Chains A and B, each alone.
Chain A
Amino acid sequence: MRNTSVITPSTTQTATRQQKFSVYQLLLHIIFIITSILVIIPVILVLAVSFSDENSIFIEGYSFIPKKFSMDAYTYLWQDKMAILHAYGVSISVTVIGGIIGLLLTALFAYPISRRDFPLRNVFSFYVFFTILFGGGLVPWYMVFTNIIDVKDSMIALILPGLLMNGFNVLIMRTFFQNMVPPSLIESATIDGAGEFRIWWQIIMPLSLPVLATIGLFSTLGYWNDWFNSLIFVSDAKWYSLQYVMQKTLLDVQFLSQHSSSGGTSALLAAVPTETVRMAMAIIGAGPVVLAYPFFQRYLVQGLTIGAVKG
């Protein structure tokens, strides 16, 4: 901590204020440093384990510095590179396509219900709100996507169910439009002869970058981290998303461990990837998102604070 300037009577007041301020700052810094460490440590541990020699892990347990450095886990995954790259491709495509379409649809829905001169806006708002409160349960949900619209074993199965639009996001966006877009702006655009669609696309959307970035990030992360849709709707390995390829290993281990005394499952369990490989998978799966985060950071700060500002 830096020493404050020498205290003279004339500056006492400011000095104490400064000191208080810096103690407060210091506390804040410490809290955030601790929080950051708590967040980063597990990631570092996972990274370290993925570069450790398997046997040293069994014997010594985990450590932050690999007892014996080894690239075995990554070479093991490299043997299977086609499947992993393929899953990457699926995940990236789904994330980009789903993210963009989802964002557009959300904005298209949120904008009308934010407009006070739209007569049915309460009905539609309630409709969105209702979906947040009540869900049909897994089986009806599954039946809609398999019997009414057959999405099984396709890209649509990874994009449409549960992720494309989320009521909560619609409401966040609606609030943003309501608070940030002055009605006079829309009026003047109308007087200048712009149609509704043009107003939305050329005036409202560019003004709403912060909220678009925020919701975009939410849905992108949602798509990137999703494995449940692959589990439920996909049985052809062609459409496995990257996260499911990893989750699958963990789920298999869990299930086979539960039934290890039955029949041939004990032998199957011996063939699952080891801990170092699982950690390496986690690193590979998290990579792109970690890299993408800084680009969103700027908008995220704006977008999330915006909700607190009363327009």
Chain B
Amino acid sequence: MKKQFVIILSLVVILGVILSGCGDSKNNNASSPAASPAESSTSPSSSEEPSDSVKLDPYKLVMVYPGGNPKDLKLVEEEMSKYLTEKINATIELKPIDWGAWADKSNLMFTSNDKFDLIFTAAWLQYNSNVAKGQFLELDKLIDQYGQGAKETLGPDWIKGSQVNGHNYGLPTLKEFAGAAGLLFRKDLVEKYNIDLNAINTMDDLTPIFQTIKDKEPGVTPLVQSLSLNLPGLISGYSLDYLGDSYGVVDPDSGDLKVVNMFETKKYTDAVQQMRKWNKAGFINKDASTIKDDQLYNVMKAGKGFAFAASTKPGKNAEMSTQLGVDLLQKDLIKPQTTTSEASGAMLAISRTSGNPERAMMFLNLLYTDQYLINLLDFGIEGKHYVKSADNVLDFPEGVTAQTSGYNPGAAWMFGNQLNTYLWSNEDPNKWNKFKEFNDSSTKSLALGFVWDPTNVKNEVAAVANARTEFSGAIQTGTIDPDKFLPQFNQKLKDAGLDKIIEEKQKQLDAWAQNK
């Protein structure tokens, strides 16, 4: 008995060691240049002199950002380090953190004074509260000294739009400077019924189209919606300025800075009424108020949906087509609008724990000005992770797909200068020009640059958020009657303290406007 037990135990241990060893065989040759965190500055592997006339000491940069952990991360890291050694005598360690772990991990890294240099941040990833806590370095001087290229590339709008109280704490990624909302349609059905998407100007124009699909395509839901991807939410979200958290908004069309309750605005109520009509007509999926976005995508993947709502930008349809494996067409329903949260939708900041902020800024500068580096970070190594079919156009190498690729983070929107990146072969070759047009044509919100600090009304915000989840999904998908429930919903929000939030927001906004 005892003997058997020992034998079994040792077998299990051996098995465990073998198994955990076998996954390693591929990475053995790619062990990181600096194995222990104690050696913060390793000497570069190549003994080349930096081309810079000023002699810089070797330094290892650490960049933390949300994303998966691709197989060939270390290879890309090495390539980048080689290049950076020549340029600024620095090596780099990429530290992706899984999306789901981001909130916990990034907070712990800050509170425990972990050493790292660059970190991804955004308006929707607690950028403001981290700035308030002093987790990021103020970059004004560094930008002027080492980040001139980035500053020129971005232009004054971007730099201003992402400021907090007149200072930059992060450099925004140069991407779409505005947000819009609209619908993505299945291309095959649009062509089958000769639907003219350009003729759609209002939501009413969609009714006959949905009717056609409902009558002639049994088993296909004309409009698939979910808890967060629904028209009223997106339309009011992108035609009003949310001022950070949507409890109290400014309507850009009103021309003043009066904070109002979004759920009482005409834009919102009209959209909600329309959904109710459509829902009664049977255009919307029955489970709209409960399903999550990934389930919505599944319905589209399965070919059981005709259209769904999305936040849009030029080429959004191509992006989603790749991901869903369904050809899509896009129709924007509102004009693009720029708000503070758009201007700070993706940024790289320098941590207060950075051992060498100057070098971190030099690296940031390269991300905006150096085409080779940004594409290496976004798409990996040429010939291994992608092949060029034409100038600046990418394809996967023979026998590689998005799923099997060793490096395909899909994160081009996260770093540096997106307008400097290559395009996949299914994308519009003019995408970046359209981006520029889109950015130029956007309405700038009057409150652009205002940052809302909810600290004083934290409890109310939490209470209102709770009240909101109870109703908003069901109301915005037309599942329940807005005539009856919308007043109830608003009453609930007011009971939870919405008016107090609006008052506080108004106060802050007025103060901000005076100092502008």
Contact = CB atoms under 8 A, between A and B. Distances in A.
Query: Do A and B come from the same complex?
Result: yes
B16 interface: yes
B262 to A, nearest CB: 14
A252 interface: yes
Given A89-B19, A257-B294, A96 B9 contact: yes
A138 B110 CA distance: 13
Given A89-B16, A143-B112, A235-B95, A270 B320 contact: yes
B23 A142 contact: no
A58 B302 contact: yes
Given A89-B18, A93-B13, A231 B101 contact: yes
Given A152-B37, A250-B100, A238 B112 contact: no
B414 interface: yes
Contacts of B12: 92, 96
A93 B229 CA distance: 43
Nearest to A295: B8
Q: Which 9 residue pairs of A and B lie closest in terms of their CB atoms, listed nearest first?
A: A251-B100, A86-B23, A89-B19, A89-B20, A270-B323, A92-B16, A264-B413, A93-B16, A237-B69
Contact of A147 (B18, B113, B124, B175): B113
B410 interface: yes
A146 B447 CA distance: 42
B299 A58 contact: yes
Contacts of B108: 138-139, 142, 232
Interface in A238-282: 238, 240, 247-248, 250-272, 274-275
A79 interface: yes
A25 B324 CA distance: 56
B112 A147 contact: yes
26 contacts: A54-B302, A59-B302, A79-B403, A82-B26, A86-B22, A86-B23, A89-B15, A96-B9, A146-B114, A150-B37, A231-B100, A240-B69, A251-B99, A254-B100, A256-B99, A257-B294, A258-B228, A259-B124, A260-B293, A261-B228, A261-B234, A262-B124, A266-B320, A267-B319, A267-B323, A269-B293
A69 B376 CA distance: 42
B20 A271 contact: no
Interface string A147-188: 100101000000000000000000000000000000000000
Contacts of A104: none
A252 B411 contact: no
Nearest to A143: B112
B15 to A, nearest CB: 7
Interface residues of A, number: 60
A261 B292 contact: no
A160 B410 CA distance: 35
B79 to A, nearest CB: 19
A90 interface: yes
B83 interface: no
The residue in B9, B99, B303, B304 that gathers the most chain A C-beta atoms within 10 A of its C-beta is B99
A269 B311 CA distance: 14
A260 B233 CA distance: 12
A232 B17 CA distance: 23
Interface string B194-209: 0000000000000000
The residue in B298, B310, B410 that gathers the most chain A C-beta atoms within 10 A of its C-beta is B298
Nearest to B401: A79
Contact of A86 (B24, B103, B228): B24
A270 B297 contact: yes
Given A142-B111, A232-B101, A267-B319, 17 more contacts: A58-B302, A79-B403, A92-B20, A93-B13, A96-B9, A96-B12, A96-B16, A142-B108, A235-B97, A260-B229, A264-B413, A266-B310, A267-B323, A268-B410, A270-B294, A270-B323, A274-B301
A77 to B, nearest CB: 12
B404 A252 contact: no
B323 A271 contact: yes
B124 A231 contact: no
B402 interface: yes
A256 B293 CA distance: 9
The residue in A97, A100, A142, A150 that gathers the most chain B C-beta atoms within 10 A of its C-beta is A142
Contacts of B403: 79
Interface of A: 54-55, 57-59, 79, 82-83, 85-86, 88-90, 92-93, 96-97, 100, 138-139, 142-143, 146-147, 150, 152, 231-232, 235-238, 240, 247-248, 250-272, 274-275
A271 B402 contact: yes
Contacts of B98: 231, 248, 251-252
B22 A253 contact: no
B292 to A, nearest CB: 5
B105 interface: yes
Nearest to B411: A264
B298 A86 contact: no
A294 to B, nearest CB: 14
B286 to A, nearest CB: 11
Interface string B319-332: 11011100000000
Given A89-B18, A238-B27, A264-B413, A96 B13 contact: yes
B21 interface: yes
B122 A262 contact: yes
B486 interface: no
Interface string B406-442: 0000111110000000000000000000000000000
B96 interface: yes
A11 to B, nearest CB: 46
Interface in B69-126: 69, 71, 95-105, 108, 111-114, 122-124
B478 interface: no
A264 B227 CA distance: 18
B346 interface: yes
Contact of B23 (A57, A85, A143): A85
A55 B299 CA distance: 8
